[in-house]
């Protein structure tokens, strides 16, 4: 295994050490074959389809560590929603295993399944669907209420979440008093405020206009720092996938064709299909100082070179924000994680190499 692959498996974007032995979500050989409803098929068609079926998800395997944002990316019809519906057991898998926190999801008995859906996972759809007759605080606290959380605790959590999405002064407002973007913020606050450790998000931002969408992506990263959920996020937008995902799985016609960090996909696309996709990516807005620092410190093997006098930047700084620093004469920057610990250094040359279509590995 290469150093890069090892890194992809053992640390996420936040630099948290992870145990490769114990993924929180572990999916192996997951397959779904849809058979058309018998009553709707006719004669020979029924016979043929019953034999063959339609393979919507074909032998897909992946692992998600606790606290990670795992993105499933692919074109329409590639099987993304089918995967998360199987994780949620909204539909039954035809084959393969799904293990969540050591539990075999496919064999949960009805009562265990109810507990799994109520306590462990929370599904978030494109339309957050606020209750129009409930105030913001009651909307956000609702998920906790149905889980039987005490009124005082659920309201405190709802207020905290609403503050984080910038609506702390509107907690008693009704949804129809809000703009579309504000409603989305409430929906996101509600999703993150529940006790569920896992969020399954199926294209939650796809219907938004680009400015609100960007705002929501930034908000999700900010909220995630606070709530540290384990998130499976579905999108067909590679820019969004790379911005949000600690790891990204690319799907094509039911198959998982590559799984890795944004940098892995950019540096070594496993398939001409991915190569075509990544050509369209705005590298300056998806690659971060942290990604480059982790990549280069492994390539250097000795960790970061001396950087005592280098300016410190947070690991989430995207490259287009670094460019003015280098333009002002800095030779390198010191990249720090959320706790202020140094991850490594990034030089101007590495940033330019990472921005070039030939990529970072070409520079070293």
Ligand X SMILES: Nc1ncnc2c1ncn2[C@@H]1O[C@H](COP(=O)(O)OP(=O)(O)OP(=O)(O)O)[C@@H](O)[C@H]1O
Q: Point out which residues bind Mg ion (CB under 5 A).
A: 81
Long-range contacts of 220-226 (CB under 8 A, 24+ apart): 220/188, 220/244, 221/316, 222/164, 223/161, 223/164, 223/165, 223/188, 223/189, 223/192, 224/69, 224/192, 225/14, 225/338, 226/164, 226/192
Nearer to ligand X by Cβ, of 40 and 358: the residue is 40
Q: At what angle do helices 136-146 and 180-193 cross, to 10 degrees?
A: 30
CA distance 196 to 190: 11
- In the set 74, 290, 307, 316, which binds ligand X (CB under 6 A)? 74
The reply to whether 88 sits near ligand X by the rule CB under 6 A is: no
Greatest CA separation for the chain = 77
Rounded Cα distance, 349 and 355, in Å: 10
Q: Is position 54 an interface residue for ligand X (rule: CB under 6 A)? A: yes
Nearer to ligand X, 82 or 230 (CB): 82
For residue 287, give both structure tokens.
């690659």
Q: Please answer whether residues 204 and 124 qualify as being in contact, where contact means their C-beta atoms are separated by less than 8 angstroms.
A: yes
For ligand X, the closer CB: 75 or 146: 75
**Least CB distance to ligand X at residue 193 (A):** 26
For residue 236, the minimal CB distance to ligand X (Å) is 5
78 binds ligand X (CB under 6 A): yes
**Nearer to ligand X among residue 54 and residue 131 (C-beta):** 54
Contact call for residue 34 and ligand X (CB under 6 A): yes
Q: Quick one: which segment of 78-86, 159-167, 171-179, 323-331 binds ligand X (CB under 6 A)?
A: 78-86
- Segment contacting ligand X (CB under 6 A): 77-85, 180-188, 211-219, 353-361? 77-85
Q: For ligand X, which stretch binds (CB under 6 A), given 3-11, 72-80, 169-177, 339-347?
A: 72-80
Contact residues for ligand X, defined by CB under 6 A: 34, 54, 56, 74, 76-82, 236
């Amino acid at each position: 295994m290469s150093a890069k692959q090892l890194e992809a498996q053992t640390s996420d974007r936040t630099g948290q050490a992870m145990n490769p032995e114990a993924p929180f979500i572990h999916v192996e050989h997951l397959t779904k074959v849809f058979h058309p409803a018998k009553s709707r098929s006719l004669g020979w068609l029924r016979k043929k389809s019953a034999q063959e079926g339609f393979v919507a998800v074909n032998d897909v395997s992946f692992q998600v560590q606790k606290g990670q944002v795992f993105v499933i990316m692919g074109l329409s019809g590639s099987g993304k929603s089918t995967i998360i519906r199987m994780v949620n057991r909204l539909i039954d898998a035809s084959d393969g295993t799904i293990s969540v926190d050591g539990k075999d999801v496919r064999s949960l008995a009805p009562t265990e399944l109810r507990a799994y859906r109520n306590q462990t996972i929370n599904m978030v759809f494109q339309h957050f669907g606020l209750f129009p007759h409930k105030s913001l605080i009651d909307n956000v606290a609702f998920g906790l209420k149905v889980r039987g959380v005490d009124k005082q605790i659920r309201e405190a959590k709802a207020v905290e979440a609403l503050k984080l999405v910038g609506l702390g002064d509107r907690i008693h407002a009704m949804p129809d008093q809000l703009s579309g973007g504000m409603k989305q913020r409430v929906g996101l606050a509600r999703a993150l405020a529940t006790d569920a450790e896992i969020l399954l998000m199926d294209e939650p931002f796809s219907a938004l206009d680009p400015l609100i969408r960007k705002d929501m992506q930034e908000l999700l990263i900010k909220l995630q720092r606070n709530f540290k959920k384990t998130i499976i996020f579905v999108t067909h937008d590679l820019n969004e996938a790379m911005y949000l995902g600690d790891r990204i799985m690319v799907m094509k016609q039911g198959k998982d064709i590559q799984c890795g960090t944004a940098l892995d996909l950019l540096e070594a696309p496993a398939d001409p299909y991915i190569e075509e996709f990544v050509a369209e990516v705005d590298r300056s807005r998806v690659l971060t100082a942290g990604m480059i620092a982790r990549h280069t410190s492994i390539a250097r093997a000795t960790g970061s070179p001396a950087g005592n006098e280098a300016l410190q930047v947070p690991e989430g700084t995207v490259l287009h924000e670094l460019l003015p620093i280098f333009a002002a004469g800095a030779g390198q920057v010191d990249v720090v994680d959320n706790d202020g610990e140094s991850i490594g250094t990034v030089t101007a040359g590495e940033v330019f190499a990472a921005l070039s279509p030939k990529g970072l590995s070409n520079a070293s």
